[in-house]
Structure 1
Amino acid sequence: MSQIMETTIAGRTLKVEYGKVGMLSNAAVLVSYGDTVVLINANASDKPREGIDFFPLSIEYEERLYAVGKIPGGFIKREGKPSEKAILHGRAIDRPLRPLFPKGYRNDVQVVCTVVSVEQDNLPEILAVNGASIALCISSIPFTTPVATVSVGLVDGEFIINPTLSQREKSTLNLTVCATKERVMMVEAGGQEIPEDDMYNAIMFGFEECKKIVAFQEEVMAKMGKTKVIPELYKVDEAIEQDVRAFAFDMVKEAMYIMDKDERNAAIDAVKVKINEQFSEKYPDNGSDIADTIYGMQKEIVRNMLLNEHRRPDGRDFNEVRPISCDVALLPRTHGTGLFTRGMTQVMTVATLGALGDVQILDGLGSEEFKRYMHHYNFPSYSVGEVRPLRGPGRREIGHGALAEKALEPLIPNEDEFPYTIRLVSEVLSSNGSTSQASVCGSTLALLDAGVPIKRPAAGIAMGLITSEDLSKEEVITDIQGIEDFFGDMDFKVAGTEVGITAIQFDTKIHGLSNKCIRESLDKARVARLHILGKMNECISEPREELSKYAPKTYTMTIDPDKIRDVIGAGGKVINKIIAETGVKIDIKEDGKIFVMSDDSVCAKRALKIIDDLTREVKAGEIYLGKVTKIANFGAFVEILPGKEGLVHISKLDFARVNKVEDIVSLGDEILVKVTEIDNQGRINLSRKDAIKDSEEKNSEEKASEEKVSEEE
């Protein structure tokens, strides 16, 4: 039997319907918010997956274009692989849920969020996180801590929960807050240089609303929830753990206290060899238990070092940023390059400028149709000294690229200021912590090197956290390196300018962050960001005055919008001919702005002249250089502008009497003509002799003026 429960969030109804669809799923719910509807199905395997050392949670965010009344584009008229936004939304659902499953749970769990109806005022990705939490909570899967999610906007100084489309267009903040009733689990934010105080207050504002949604989810659990299964949790064999720890703990500790990363890794590898030699005969089939014990010792040692000894693995102070170096203009033929190095993390970003027609076309559920600024992030295996096949970008690469893109987007000039499509590609050359934020820094350097007039330079930093088991004690650390990220409790990335924050992404491996931790992380991140910006400014502080000689140049003009059809022509015939003749790229806007892009200024100016001629109005009294297109007994027809012809009567061809038109002009001749009249029917009358007379008079006046100047000198 179908069961329905409702609550009101920001003046709109959030409805959960269970028992109507998906009868064979462990839990299937239809969640709706306004006219946005997401179908959530949650399932888990009966037994743990053998031979793995991780929790196999799979979150799938499925977009259906019928949800917005669209038929997919392209030859194959069905949805294909997930869009970039769908991948990002799937990651955003995964991150707050994963830490709340029991430790050691290794059953396969899959949550499928299918977006089946979208009202643009109500974002389906926000609804999907709430729906996924509800489905898991009412299922028999051992997940018992509800997670709520809201979006927060900032319009005219006021925070707004789940802003509508019109409010989002005005908002200077795009914030997503995920939280349990006790702590914030995850934050994603993009903003137009938001001060730290405002960002913290926005997060707390969203947190309070999340608590109300959690209370509603608890009511849904009480009414609809199934009995939870008792999970089979993986644990290391106690005898093996005791033996390995007794034999190797001191050796592992000695290795972990080595400051140099390469030396530390070599020492740990040597210890592992000794451990395997010692226990290979006693425990021949328990390699995974031994490996887990070694990992547990490393984690315990590093966390104790940080939390109780107040000592970092590389000897830095808790608020100290690693050494930084910056460089630009590395590659001779690219439009702009930036190399940013922080410790052993190094990213090279390359900027490419293209025509406005090079924008990325978006075929998704949102209102956005194209993207003019793009950032892509590559993380090859050599960046961590490993060997593995090179594949296309995975979820991590897409997520890191999107975060860096979000950080710089508010600073990119609009197309009126800078009429180019901009693509940035960040290549991670070496990775030891926070490559996404290094790509923000490298991208800023590349944009400045390319001459892009960004609003201000931006930089990013990642903060870390170490907590005691009961969460009563915590230490926030600045600029985490790989080992601190690996064994730590959070990755709190903050990017922005000297004015404020442009992007945040944080998630945690524990049951959420305290308010104090969030406040401290924001404040310390600002100090670190300003330090990094200072180092970057020493390398390059302003956009280059000129673009690279290899970058295409853009020329603009404006025509009457009613004349656009004359430039395009039937089926694009006219514009395609211009492009073929000149080799330029042409983009035309609805308001009549025309952008012509070319590496060759001569070709660009030629294209501009053709367009100008196509759209110019013929005016009486003006002189034109025209081409004879037809000869008749009574005169010659001359094309003075593309598609615009006039008649030079035989009596207007010359000062003397003309017996035959061919005595003066031939087909194809270019002659000067003056427009003497445009009659009521739009017919154009021309005169060759009046054009000659006016030209001679003009030449005489110019000659007299030159002679006068010469006499005065």
Structure 2
Amino acid sequence: MKEWTIDYAGDQFNFQTGKLAKQANGSVVVRCGDSQVLVTAVMDEPRPGMNYFPLMVNYEERVYAIGQIPGSVMRREGRPRDEATLAARVIDRSIRPLFPEGFRHDVQIVATILSVDDDHDPEVLALNGASAALTLSDIPFAGPIGGVKVALVDEQIIINPNEEERENSDLDLVVAGSKDAIMMVEASANEVSEATVLEAMKVAHAEIKKIISLQEEMRQEAGEDKFHFESPTVDSEIQSKVDEILGNKLKEAIQIQEKQARSDKIDELKAELKATINPDEESELDSQIGMAFEKMLKKSVKSLVVEDGIRPDGRDYDEIRPIWAEVDFVPRAHGSGVFTRGETQALSVLTLGSARDEQTLFGLGENETKRYMHHYNFPSFCVGETSPMRSPGRREIGHGTLGEKALLPVIPSEEEFPYTIRIVSEVLESNGSSSQASICGSSLALMAAGVPIKAPVAGIAMGLMKKDDDVVILSDIQGFEDFNGDMDFKVAGTEAGITALQMDIKLKGLSYDILEEALEKAKKGRMHIMGKMLDVIPEARPELSENAPAIITMNIDPEKIRFVIGPGGKMINKIIDETGASIDIEDDGLVKIMTDDQEGGQQAQEMIARLTEEVEVGKIYQGKVKRIMNFGAFVEILPNKEGLVHISKLADRHVKEVGDIVSVGDEIPVKVIEIDNQDRINLSLKDAKKELEAKE
């Protein structure tokens, strides 16, 4: 067993290997505080016919990590939480570019969360553990990399924030990088400036370099010899034939602006090429032709963009595709927005609900609830294909969460707007940047519904093409540019600043100059898109949609909640049955009444008010006679509140028998004349009548 420790922003980062999971190609236990993660890396033989790199990353949460037993019927962990899926995606995106080109062996990274404390995020431990496990193993990997989490509290950049700092932070940033450059960025922010985000990346990178130095030391002391792998190469003679036959045809095909027509023409050229060079359909030769074609395709795209200054659809580098948008497309929805940019289109539909519609988040920590949800669907028809309709995959979960991060900073607080909000973004067409289109469509839906958001949010995806030492940054990339380019950099935000950020690259890293330029151009493009959105709806409507349920809020004494609930829920169920309202009561006495019928909501409010009202001396109540005694009548003036009308207070004249004036069941006006030191309520019928007559 070997062990290494490094100072990590005031904490101790501990790596251990050679003790657990020794049959894996690489295995490390990473610990910081009481958070502990076992990360393994395993490589298997390539599967026949595999034409892509089958990297699998699993982030396995165990409830024993917080000393609990799962609450499910089977008492076992179920399908991964969205948070676990997102953590796996962060690891995948950070390490994937560092495997050899053409590598087709199965590789699986499994991060098993063994222990969690509140102050040390296991996601960062798993990210660094994945790099360390690969670095120590015999698996080909051009690492190591390091990863850190960054917060921004009171304008101060903090590495490795604790729980309190994370809760008070305006920035939740995860950065992964090599010794020389940034590799991956994932962030949510509270309208933070581009300059601050860039500075946070630089501070993070300084810490990353320390973690990488430790992993290099680990490799020297305990690393295995790497498996020898040579990336497949194309026979020079075949490449020459392909280049000669295609000539400028491929460049011409690339410039066809319509997505499907371009794809069809490229497929046609590929088929003609194979028929010319390989009429007998020899599989090995066919594979060589395919690789030569793809190599020429990428080369042609980069040459066209970088050298000739021509994008596939003819736009300038900074030009945004044509945009059209509208609101209120779905008639019965509480809010809806359609956002179309080029051949990418998203329909966002908003629904408002009550507190009981909030999502409960079960995780490795205290259970929380979420009152704003953003869900993203990517059906196969949006790219003109067919496939089975299944539950959301990792991509859908990731893009939905990105949209949620982008919009959450502008969602009004529960005190300002006591609704639960769910938005579903349906991608109807996709040709690049559908996640950002869903953010734009959702901003439109929020404003159309009358949700008082702090500011509209727009999103854009930036791209990059690198050929030798020449680099070009592209605004609003389409799918073809993303696939054949070197970067996908998504930036969402308001006019004031960034709210969400996500970067994936295919290079070995990016310099700060390139990142700074990309952020500047992203802001310019974002503002252009924002202008198009505001042309459709300039601000949130002052009134809620007529289709939305009404919510009435009121505060009651927490000690009187039991009066509203009643024995076995009898009283609250009666209110619900009589008014048709939905009622939620918080422990602090906040009552939310939701109803489709305003009259029913007001009726429910009045019933609750009566149940919790304090009796006031001098106030007149309409009461009901409950009992008659020889000395007076007991009258219920509020639910569970009775007072005595003494016989002398029934009328201005002498009354011999109480029954001469009132009977059980009579409804009569009474005035509260006294609440004695034993909380007994004394009432007067004659004073109430006299006062009411005087008002008439």
**Same fold at TM > 0.5:** yes
The reply on whether 1:594 has 2:591 as its aligned counterpart is yes
Superposed displacement of residue 87, structure 1: 0.6
Question: After the TM superposition, which of the residue ranges 220-229 and 11-20 deviates more from structure 2?
Answer: 220-229
Change (3 A) 1:658 1:280: farther
2:475 maps to which of 478, 489, 493: 478
1:615 maps to which of 612, 616, 626: 612
Letter in 2 for 1:59: V
The residue that corresponds to 2:393 in the other structure is: 394
The residue that corresponds to 1:328 in the other structure is: 327
The residue that corresponds to 1:350 in the other structure is: 349
Superposed displacement of residue 145, structure 1: 0.9
CA distance in 1, matches of 2:311, 2:248: 18
The reply on whether 1:692 has 2:680 as its aligned counterpart is no
The reply on whether 1:59 has 2:66 as its aligned counterpart is no
Question: After the TM superposition, which of the residue ranges 617-626 and 244-253 deviates more from structure 2?
Answer: 244-253
The reply on whether 1:50 has 2:60 as its aligned counterpart is no
Letter in 1 for 2:403: A
**Alignment of structure 1 residues 635-650 onto 2, 5 Å:** 635-650=632-647
Change (3 A) 1:666 1:307: same
- SS, match of residue 48 in structure 1: coil
Any conservation in 2 of the 1:245–1:297 contact (CA below 8 Å)? yes
User: In the TM superposition, what whole-angstrom CA distance separates every residue of 1:498-525 from its partner, at most 9, and x where no partner exists?
Assistant: 1111111001011111221101100110
The residue that corresponds to 1:172 in the other structure is: 170
User: In the TM superposition, what whole-angstrom CA distance separates every residue of 1:530-583 from its partner, at most 9, and x where no partner exists?
Assistant: 111111111111110111111011112222233333333455443333223322
Any conservation in 2 of the 1:635–1:661 contact (CA below 8 Å)? yes
- SS, match of residue 351 in structure 2: strand
The reply on whether 1:254 has 2:252 as its aligned counterpart is yes
User: In the TM superposition, what whole-angstrom CA distance separates every residue of 1:92-140 from its partner, at most 9, and x where no partner exists?
Assistant: 0100100101111111111111112111111111111001111111112
Letter in 2 for 1:157: E
Superposed displacement of residue 58, structure 1: 0.3
Change (3 A) 1:647 1:77: farther
The residue that corresponds to 1:92 in the other structure is: 90
The residue that corresponds to 1:466 in the other structure is: 465
Question: After the TM superposition, which of the residue ranges 160-169 and 648-657 deviates more from structure 2?
Answer: 648-657
Letter in 1 for 2:359: Q
The reply on whether 1:126 has 2:124 as its aligned counterpart is yes
Letter in 1 for 2:523: R
CA distance in 2, matches of 1:272, 1:288: 12
Letter in 2 for 1:482: G
The reply on whether 1:39 has 2:38 as its aligned counterpart is yes
Letter in 2 for 1:318: Y
The residue that corresponds to 2:113 in the other structure is: 115
CA distance in 1, matches of 2:189, 2:247: 47
Letter in 2 for 1:502: T
CA distance in 1, matches of 2:642, 2:215: 76
Letter in 2 for 1:581: E
Question: After the TM superposition, which of the residue ranges 663-672 and 129-138 deviates more from structure 2?
Answer: 663-672
Question: After the TM superposition, which of the residue ranges 376-385 and 591-600 deviates more from structure 2?
Answer: 591-600
**Alignment of structure 1 residues 242-641 onto 2, 5 Å:** 243-279=241-277, 281-286=279-284, 287-367=286-366, 369-469=368-468, 472-641=469-638
Question: After the TM superposition, which of the residue ranges 54-63 and 368-377 deviates more from structure 2?
Answer: 368-377
Any conservation in 2 of the 1:25–1:42 contact (CA below 8 Å)? yes
Change (3 A) 1:627 1:457: same
Superposed displacement of residue 419, structure 1: 1.1
- SS, match of residue 71 in structure 2: coil
Q: Please, which runs of 5 or more residues in structure 1 have no aligned partner?
A: 700-713
> TM-score of the superposition, structure 1-length normalised?
0.94
Letter in 1 for 2:424: V
Letter in 2 for 1:686: L
CA distance in 2, matches of 1:215, 1:548: 57
Tell me the percent identity: 53
User: In the TM superposition, what whole-angstrom CA distance separates every residue of 1:569-600 from its partner, at most 9, and x where no partner exists?
Assistant: 45544333322332212223343322211111
Change (3 A) 1:541 1:366: farther
CA distance in 1, matches of 2:677, 2:258: 88
CA distance in 2, matches of 1:570, 1:44: 62
Change (3 A) 1:275 1:144: closer
CA distance in 2, matches of 1:411, 1:662: 65
1:652 maps to which of 646, 649, 653: 649
Any conservation in 1 of the 2:303–2:467 contact (CA below 8 Å)? no
Change (3 A) 1:255 1:647: same
CA distance in 2, matches of 1:296, 1:639: 88
The reply on whether 1:81 has 2:79 as its aligned counterpart is yes
Question: After the TM superposition, which of the residue ranges 518-527 and 153-162 deviates more from structure 2?
Answer: 153-162
- SS, match of residue 476 in structure 1: strand
Any conservation in 2 of the 1:184–1:514 contact (CA below 8 Å)? yes
- SS, match of residue 283 in structure 2: coil
CA distance in 2, matches of 1:559, 1:146: 59
The residue that corresponds to 2:201 in the other structure is: 203
Aligned-pair Cα RMSD in Å: 2.0
Letter in 2 for 1:576: N
User: In the TM superposition, what whole-angstrom CA distance separates every residue of 1:360-407 from its partner, at most 9, and x where no partner exists?
Assistant: 110012456011111111111111111111111111111111111111
CA distance in 2, matches of 1:143, 1:441: 38
The residue that corresponds to 2:188 in the other structure is: 190
Q: Please, which runs of 5 or more residues in structure 2 have no aligned partner?
A: none
Any conservation in 2 of the 1:249–1:297 contact (CA below 8 Å)? no
Superposed displacement of residue 410, structure 1: 0.8
CA distance in 1, matches of 2:616, 2:500: 55
Change (3 A) 1:535 1:88: same
Any conservation in 2 of the 1:104–1:235 contact (CA below 8 Å)? no
The residue that corresponds to 2:2 in the other structure is: 3
> TM-score of the superposition, structure 2-length normalised?
0.96
CA distance in 2, matches of 1:602, 1:288: 72
Change (3 A) 1:364 1:331: same
The reply on whether 1:69 has 2:37 as its aligned counterpart is no
CA distance in 1, matches of 2:486, 2:231: 21
Letter in 2 for 1:209: E
Question: After the TM superposition, which of the residue ranges 516-525 and 660-669 deviates more from structure 2?
Answer: 660-669
User: In the TM superposition, what whole-angstrom CA distance separates every residue of 1:622-657 from its partner, at most 9, and x where no partner exists?
Assistant: 211112233444443222111112233344333444
Any conservation in 2 of the 1:120–1:367 contact (CA below 8 Å)? no
Any conservation in 2 of the 1:67–1:115 contact (CA below 8 Å)? yes
- SS, match of residue 614 in structure 2: coil
Letter in 2 for 1:195: S
Letter in 2 for 1:577: K
Change (3 A) 1:35 1:450: same
CA distance in 1, matches of 2:272, 2:229: 35
Number of equivalent positions:
695
Letter in 2 for 1:205: V
User: In the TM superposition, what whole-angstrom CA distance separates every residue of 1:55-93 from its partner, at most 9, and x where no partner exists?
Assistant: 010000111122223333343432110101111111001
CA distance in 1, matches of 2:473, 2:21: 45
CA distance in 1, matches of 2:345, 2:640: 58
CA distance in 2, matches of 1:585, 1:223: 65
Superposed displacement of residue 688, structure 1: 2.0
Superposed displacement of residue 235, structure 1: 4.8
